[in-house]
Amino acid sequence: MKCYTPVIYKGLSPCKPNAIKSAVLQSEQVQYVIKQLAKEMGESPDIIQEEAMEILDEMGHRMQLGAVRFFAFTLSKIFKQLFQRVCVNEEGMQRLQHAIQEHPVVLLPSHRSYVDFLMLSYLLYTYDLALPVIAAGIDFLGMKIVGELLRRAGAFFMRRSFGGNRLYWAVFAEYVKTMLRSGYAPIEFFLEGTRSRTAKTLTPKFGLLSIVMEPFFKREVFDTYLVPISISYERILEESLYAYELLGVPKPKESTSGLLKARRILSDNFGTIHIYVGQPVSLRTLASGRISRCPYNLVPRHLPQKPSEDIQEFVSDVAYKMELLQIENMVLSPWVLVAAVLLQNLPAMEFELLIEKTLWLKGLTQTFGGFIEWPDNLCAKKAVLSGLTLHSNIAGLVDGHVVLNDKGVEDGAVGEIVFRHALAVLMCATYRNQLLNVFVRPALVAVALQMAPSFRKEEVYSCFNFLRDVFSDEFIFFPGISLKDFEEGCFLLTKCDAIQTSQQEIYPTDKGSGTVSFLSAMFRPFVEGYQLIFRYLSKEMKEAFTEKQFIPAVRNFVFQLLEKGSTQCYEALSSDMQKNALSALVQLGAVKKKKTPNGFTYNVNQEAVGKILDMFDARIPVQKPVAARL
């Protein structure tokens, strides 16, 4: 049996999971809320205390080494079946080992698959590091045995939403903070909140992050390390599941039998996993000079306190920064490049041309700072071929041409054909999507160049700014630095000779027109998709609606257009894009979001949406003069 003696936090006071639970229950924070609730509801504190105990039991982990060993054993078997290799950056693991001893550590992995946290725990175990406690969605608990096993492997569970339940929030927050303060184990959760179905990084959620940051704000710990971890899969286990889900075929509930059925995929090959453990980021360093200490000094630390505006802003900034670090360190496989090229050349592309284009895109990606895993000496042909082999369910080689693998296209109804094709496109897009956040700044400049009525800098910037606002939920932008993003985009484009800038103007070079059009084609599905969705909203949605009504309705609308052949934008079928587009309109103020007892309802301001549509369509001149800095 493996000897497992992980390094521990220097300030650790060793304790059992049960001791943590009772510490949480007895903490001033939880007791305060219990007393408050008892007073408000006129109930005895004992009853509420019991309720808190139940919450704690439902949520708490019971990490046991035996279970961990069992897990490690089975996982190593399963992983060996599924994946060819798992690559880890060794120096990252070493840095992590140091960090764990020094200060409490929060692991922030990207979330593309259920494999993420299993893999990460397995990895830490293998490297003799303290196993993390993981905030997992409570739906796992529905899985018999497995839920319990996960719990024993260190997972703790949170309800997906508990906005209104103060007791739940108090108990949960205190549980997380107690584990953090005591240095019990690294805490792991996903900034994205849920698995990204599109392999595109989701905009961050702030709740858990602000909980783990609070002990530092209150100086209960000297510092906290945030460790961004990028996990990328050559082939994602759930790829087809995601595609179905995006097209509205409901997600199967997590269940043990479901997991057993998934056994079928055991015989499949899912390629390589790359795990990049980023440099631990000191929260103290991030916060230096940013946080006014007053609010925390003037109120007893156990009282629940709504974070001040500058704290909220800081939490949001940190969240975005961490996601951008995840993106920066995300390993991209050659197949990602192939998928990006292929999607622009449907329905079929000559194999040789595909190789040539892929190689070209590799150079461009590297110029833009993408982190490509391209095995040494591997010729482009082999790389593309091995990608095609691994992803034979998505694309294949037919007569020297690469085509999407949309089986059963010929023998179906029109609807069936569209659906099949959409499925293939969305699956393929999942891989192209991994490039998008690396490309988004230069690409939006490229799109803006084509949209803007002239090459004048301020007009291009104005378009860029508009696109950045519209796509703020689609891609990851650090808040509030539009101009900097624009400058970075321009810089990268200049670097690859795609554009030239003068004092007042930005224009594409002759040599670079290929690059510019490639980039704008890359983002065309989003530009077109958003237009479709906006058009639908401005025409059809006259009354208040909920998200549940909106998604199928807009899907039908797009579906009909696809059937008629009046659009080729299959990606507009993706519920992810539809939701993002809706929330962008909410942020732009063109849609009003209202809270009702049955959730949120939306009201469209047709005129405003129409105006936004015009921005896409017409080359309208800038209204406002923009910053003189341009």
Partner 1 sequence: MYCCRLGAEWLRSKRPSGKGSPGAGQQRAGVSQCMPRWPRRPKASWPGSAIVWPAELGQELLKWNGWGYNDSKFIFNKKGQAEFTGKRYRLGGMVLPTFKEWIEKTFGASLEHKTTSRASLNVNDVPPPIVNEEFLQDLRATKISYSQDAEDRVFRAHGHCLHEIFVLREGMFKRIPDIVVWPVCHEDVVKIVELACKHNLCIIPFGGGTSVSSALECPEEEKRMIISLDTSQMNRILWIDEKNLTACVEAGIVGQDLEKQLAESGFCTGHEPDSMEFSSLGGWVATRASGMKKNIYGNIEDLVIHIKMVTPRGIVEKNCQVPRMSTGPDIHHFIMGSEGTLGVVTEVTIKIRPVPEYQKYGSVVFPNFERGVACLREVAKQRCAPASIRLVDNAQFQFGHALKPQVASIFTSFLDGLKKFYITKFKGFDPNILCVATLLFEGDREKVLQHEKQVYDIATKFGGLAAGEDNGQRGYMLTFVIAYLRDLGLDYYVIGESFETSVPWDRVLDLCRNVKERIVRECKEKGVQFAPLSTCRVTQTYDAGACVYFYFAFNYRGISDPIHVYEQIERAAREEILANGGSLSHHHGVGKLRKRWMKESISDVGLGMLRSVKEYVDPNNIFGNKNLL
- What does the binding site for partner 1 look like in residue numbers (CB under 8 A)? 219-220, 222, 293-294, 296-297, 300-301
| Shortest distance in whole angstroms from residue 222 CB to partner 1 | 5
- Quick one: 222 or 600, whose CB is closer to partner 1? 222
Residues 6+ apart with CB under 8 A from 518: 344, 361, 364
| Shortest distance in whole angstroms from residue 183 CB to partner 1 | 13
- Quick one: 301 or 420, whose CB is closer to partner 1? 301
| Shortest distance in whole angstroms from residue 28 CB to partner 1 | 9
For the purposes of burial, counting CB atoms within 10 Å of the CB of 615, is it exposed (0-12), middle (13-18) or buried (19 or more)? middle
- Quick one: 18 or 292, whose CB is closer to partner 1? 292
| Shortest distance in whole angstroms from residue 293 CB to partner 1 | 5
Tokens representing residue 150 in the block? 């996960």
- Quick one: 294 or 628, whose CB is closer to partner 1? 294
- Quick one: 164 or 300, whose CB is closer to partner 1? 300
DSSP 314-375: HHHHHHHHHHHHHHHH-EE-HHHHHHHHHHTT-SEEEHHHHHHHHHHHHHHHHHTT-EE---
- Quick one: 11 or 396, whose CB is closer to partner 1? 11
DSSP 250-305: PPPPP-HHHHHHGGGGGGS---EEEEEEPPPEEHHHHHTTT--SHHHHSS-TTS--
DSSP alpha helix (H) spans, 368-470: 380-390, 414-451, 457-470
Give the Cβ contact number of residue 529 at 10 Å.
Answer: 23
DSSP alpha helix (H) spans, 153-270: 166-182, 207-217, 239-246, 256-261
| Shortest distance in whole angstroms from residue 302 CB to partner 1 | 8
| Shortest distance in whole angstroms from residue 297 CB to partner 1 | 4
Sign of CA dihedral 256, 260, 265, 269: positive
Residues 6+ apart with CB under 8 A from 163: none
| Shortest distance in whole angstroms from residue 536 CB to partner 1 | 52
| Shortest distance in whole angstroms from residue 220 CB to partner 1 | 6
**Torsion, CA 338, CA 342, CA 344, CA 345, rounded to 10:** 140
- Quick one: 119 or 221, whose CB is closer to partner 1? 221
| Shortest distance in whole angstroms from residue 13 CB to partner 1 | 9
- Quick one: 14 or 42, whose CB is closer to partner 1? 14
| Shortest distance in whole angstroms from residue 318 CB to partner 1 | 17
* C-alpha–C-alpha distance, residues 147 and 139, integer Å: 9
Residue 88, SS3? strand
Longest dimension (CA), the chain: 78
Residues 6+ apart with CB under 8 A from 560: none
- Over the range 237-274, which residues count as b (16 or more CB within 10 Å of their CB) and which as e? bbbbbbbbbbbeeeeeebeeeeeeeeeeeeeeebbbbb
- Quick one: 137 or 295, whose CB is closer to partner 1? 295
- Tell which residue, 88, 63, 188, has the closest CA to residue 132: 188
Q: How many Å separate Cα 323 from the centre of its chain?
A: 8
- Quick one: 311 or 438, whose CB is closer to partner 1? 311
599 beta partners: 596
| Shortest distance in whole angstroms from residue 8 CB to partner 1 | 17
The answer to whether 220 and 301 have CB atoms below 8 angstroms apart is: yes
- Quick one: 293 or 619, whose CB is closer to partner 1? 293
| Shortest distance in whole angstroms from residue 294 CB to partner 1 | 8
* C-alpha–C-alpha distance, residues 267 and 273, integer Å: 17
